[in-house]
Structure 1
Amino acid sequence: MGVAITGMGIISAIGHSVEENKTSLLASKSGIGNLRHILTNHSQAIKVGEVLLSNAELTRQLHLPEIHNYTRTGLLGLVAATAALENSNISDCSTYRTGFISSTTVGGMDMTEQYIKQFATDVTTQKYIATHHAGDSTQKIADTLGINGLVTTISTACSSAANAIMLGERLIKAGKLDRVVVGGTDSLSKFTINGFKTLMIQSDALCAPFDAHRKGLNLGEAAAYLVLESDTVVQKEKKDVLAYLSGYGNANDAFHQTASSDNGEGAFLAMQKALEIANLNPDQIDYINAHGTATPNNDLSESIALKRVFGDQMPDFSSTKSFTGHTLAAAGAIEAVFSILALQEQYLFPNLNFNTPMPETGLKPITSGIKKEIRHVLSNSFGFGGNCSTLIFSKA
């Protein structure tokens, strides 16, 4: 069946827990709106999926001292990772060989961009210099959770968390670890907002994945982690299994620095590989949680890749980024949680804001929630640099 998933934790624009996220998904309630926590003249001109809790509120929730050098990326990550361990009933990470694989693209730039002009003259701000790099939040979270086995960071743009999950499974299968916490965290920052604005793929309206008139993505911030455990641990501890990670695949378009290829080659190969590892035929996939960023390039490329894999027997599919925004490095983990929720609830989540099929492929995502028997969910995550990853989750 693959490696067992025994715990999950999440914080996103649609909820600060797994239960809250599930409630929003079942109610078709999006968390995308105006920017609140970042001071900018453009706050009314863009739409984002923002976690409503401030850094001070996150600090209090985590019982951290008021004076610390956690970035927002680290705070969000610690909330989700702590919840994942609690969900898996793990109180001591030293009992088994335990690893922590986290992913991020923003890293600590939410703080360094605030204080960069003060670093030379204001000693009190210099504590954030060391938090800029991608590994800072990973190490802080691992230290707080008491994980001292393998600790590493993956940053492959928007496929980062999917690759963290994939690496975790491979380490367990290879007998290197018994248990691993995997996922990702990213916060909003001016740098990323302006960067996507410069690329001209950011929408000033609610994103509409796979719609013919889509204008671009809405950025989001979030964190999510899964606990993966070996069969030995599951049996010995008599653990409840939420789902199994049954398949995974990674490939590269090798096409363009930021754009996906015209024929979706990387996405096609990643999906093929995941199906092969899961020992499944395309017609056994019951639901696809698509990457679906709502950018003109991605949605067309992904649609073509989907048609290459599934032909005329297209499973029900949707992009849940219409709920959370595109959460960058965290996206693969956010959508892993949603895929597992779909399996648990036997329910498909809708693709919000869709009206008109793309003329090039004619594909139509589901636009309202559907109660349906589901055994296997395929989830796509594609990153800049052509890094394409696919995960398959199967019912426990």
Structure 2
Amino acid sequence: MKRVLVTGMGMVTAIGNNVSENHRSLRLGRTGISKTAHFDSHYASLLPFGECEHSNEELKKSLGLAESTGYTRTCLLAEKAFSEAIESAQLTSAQLSEYDTALISASTVGGMCLTDQLYEDANLKSDGSEYLESYSSASHTLKLIKKYGIRGFNDTINTACSSSANAILLGARLIRSGRAKRVIVGGADSLAKYTVNGFNALKILSEFPCKPFDENRDGLNLGEGAAYLVLEAEEMAGGKQVYAEIKGFGNANDAHHPSAMSDEAVGAIRSMRQAVESAGMGYEAIDYVNAHGTGTPNNDAVELFGLSQLFEKIPFYSSTKAYTGHTLGAAGAVEAIFSILSIVHSEVFPNLHTVSPIAPEPPVGSLIRNHPVNYVLSNSFGFGGNCTSLVLGRA
């Protein structure tokens, strides 16, 4: 079976405009959750969010897209992270256009971040805007395909919060099965009235920076961002820097409730078990768990219960959503890169804002440095019971 290596990474979140800036913020324990500057919504002044630093105009200018049309914020964030990832992997234009180079992206809101404009266009209250072809979940993927001349297999996944984790899973399977030699995987989502209003209707948005795994947790913070990883078959990596290996993956669905996980953690346990077993290792080999850890009462309790059923002793664990907010379709790829940074730098990043842990084994409370991290289990559990777990390992 072919080894799947990570040779490139790129990202933009509320704590950094690239991988290096994100790493620095994680080390410093610096959250990006605060009031927004660019998001126009009734709730912008009432709730904290994880908003990326730059405006759409600034992003377009920095990406050389000032004269381009039809780029939503989701498209711009995707372009920002994608361009860093392929540069990191030293991919040429010719390699991007090869038929055995695939692109699998993910998004939940996609172009619906332009909620008001979509309403105007759909109800014929406008003369037809530049965004008529930009409202779908796949619009950012199509922009990347056109700009970079990608001709291989491509797909856009929407399985809620596990979307980009499933993009990584599918990309790894394509390489392992010999259907592709190189796959760029990840996802992008931006803040939108569509998602904010929806999550607010569920009454799971916190008025404060979220506190995963705390007794007094009261909900999540929505965030935005994008992250991409370049996966390559071992024979394609050559002399490149290799950041990590995709060792295993699992996907399951407990079909319990549209917006909650079952108390028995059926899907979570199955996805974690599949991931560890497919990696060909025992649970004791996992050095760190990057938890889904949204800060909602249901998610955190269920995830910890699931971990307790699989591990004789739960390893170091923390949630990084208290840094970035919940980036929805981008979360799986964002947290996969955070997991790889733990491996590369032998560090475990702390869980923020937790004062009264809900379990005897509390999450990591401060930065752990110079600690060998060889294998990380990264969890992404989505609405509808869509559960995905990845095992990332030192290459």
TM range (shorter): over 0.9
Compute the TM-score of the two structures, normalised by the length of structure 1: 0.96
* Distance verdict in 2 for CA 1:43–1:112, change over 3 Å: closer
Residue aligning to 2:323 = 323
Distance 1:395 1:182 in 2: 19
Distance 2:42 2:201 in 1: 16
> Which runs of 4 or more aligned residues in structure 1 lie more than 3 Å from their structure 2 counterparts after TM superposition?
none
Q: What are the Cα deviations for residues 155-178 of structure 1, in whole angstroms up to 9, with x where unaligned?
A: 000000000000000001111111
**3-state DSSP of counterpart to 2:132:** helix
Q: What are the Cα deviations for residues 356-382 of structure 1, in whole angstroms up to 9, with x where unaligned?
A: 122xx4341011100111100110000
Structure 2 residue 307 is the aligned partner of structure 1 residue 333? no
Residue aligning to 1:218 = 221
Equivalent residue runs for 1:107-256 within 5 Å: 107-117=110-120, 120-123=124-127, 125=129, 127-234=130-237, 237-256=238-257
Distance 1:118 1:262 in 2: 42
Distance 1:246 1:289 in 2: 15
**3-state DSSP of counterpart to 2:155:** strand
Alpha-carbon shift at residue 111 of structure 1 (Å): 1.8
Verify the 8 A CA contact 2:57 2:66 in the aligned structure 1: no
Residue aligning to 1:26 = 27
Alpha-carbon shift at residue 96 of structure 1 (Å): 6.2
Alpha-carbon shift at residue 85 of structure 1 (Å): 0.3
Verify the 8 A CA contact 1:161 1:182 in the aligned structure 2: yes
RMSD: 1.3
Q: Which runs of 5+ in 1 are unaligned?
A: none
Distance 1:85 1:340 in 2: 17
Alpha-carbon shift at residue 145 of structure 1 (Å): 2.1
Alpha-carbon shift at residue 64 of structure 1 (Å): 1.0
State the number of aligned residues.
Answer: 390
Verify the 8 A CA contact 1:183 1:223 in the aligned structure 2: yes
Equivalent residue runs for 1:253-268 within 5 Å: 253-268=254-269
Distance 1:122 1:43 in 2: 26
Alpha-carbon shift at residue 143 of structure 1 (Å): 1.8
Residue aligning to 1:273 = 274
Distance 2:265 2:73 in 1: 34
**3-state DSSP of counterpart to 2:43:** coil
Verify the 8 A CA contact 1:82 1:145 in the aligned structure 2: no
* Distance verdict in 2 for CA 1:181–1:67, change over 3 Å: closer
**3-state DSSP of counterpart to 1:314:** coil
**3-state DSSP of counterpart to 2:162:** helix
Residue aligning to 1:63 = 64
Distance 1:41 1:201 in 2: 17
Verify the 8 A CA contact 2:105 2:186 in the aligned structure 1: yes
Distance 1:304 1:190 in 2: 33
Residue aligning to 2:350 = 350
Q: Give, as a single letter, the amino acid of the residue that structure 1 aligns with 2:149.
A: G
Q: Give, as a single letter, the amino acid of the residue that structure 2 aligns with 1:283.
A: E
Q: Give, as a single letter, the amino acid of the residue that structure 1 aligns with 2:319.
A: S
Distance 2:108 2:116 in 1: 14
Q: What are the Cα deviations for residues 272-293 of structure 1, in whole angstroms up to 9, with x where unaligned?
A: 0011111111111000000000
**3-state DSSP of counterpart to 1:213:** coil
Verify the 8 A CA contact 1:112 1:128 in the aligned structure 2: no
Alpha-carbon shift at residue 30 of structure 1 (Å): 0.6
Structure 2 residue 372 is the aligned partner of structure 1 residue 369? no
Residue aligning to 2:38 = 37
Compute the TM-score of the two structures, normalised by the length of structure 2: 0.96
Alpha-carbon shift at residue 146 of structure 1 (Å): 2.1
Verify the 8 A CA contact 2:10 2:18 in the aligned structure 1: yes
Q: Give, as a single letter, the amino acid of the residue that structure 2 aligns with 1:54.
A: S
Q: Give, as a single letter, the amino acid of the residue that structure 1 aligns with 2:55.
A: S
Q: Which runs of 5+ in 2 are unaligned?
A: none
Distance 2:12 2:36 in 1: 17
Q: Give, as a single letter, the amino acid of the residue that structure 2 aligns with 1:230.
A: A
**3-state DSSP of counterpart to 1:42:** helix
Residue aligning to 1:395 = 394
Distance 1:272 1:124 in 2: 50
Alpha-carbon shift at residue 199 of structure 1 (Å): 0.3
Alpha-carbon shift at residue 118 of structure 1 (Å): 5.5
Q: What are the Cα deviations for residues 200-219 of structure 1, in whole angstroms up to 9, with x where unaligned?
A: 11100010001010010000
**3-state DSSP of counterpart to 1:43:** helix
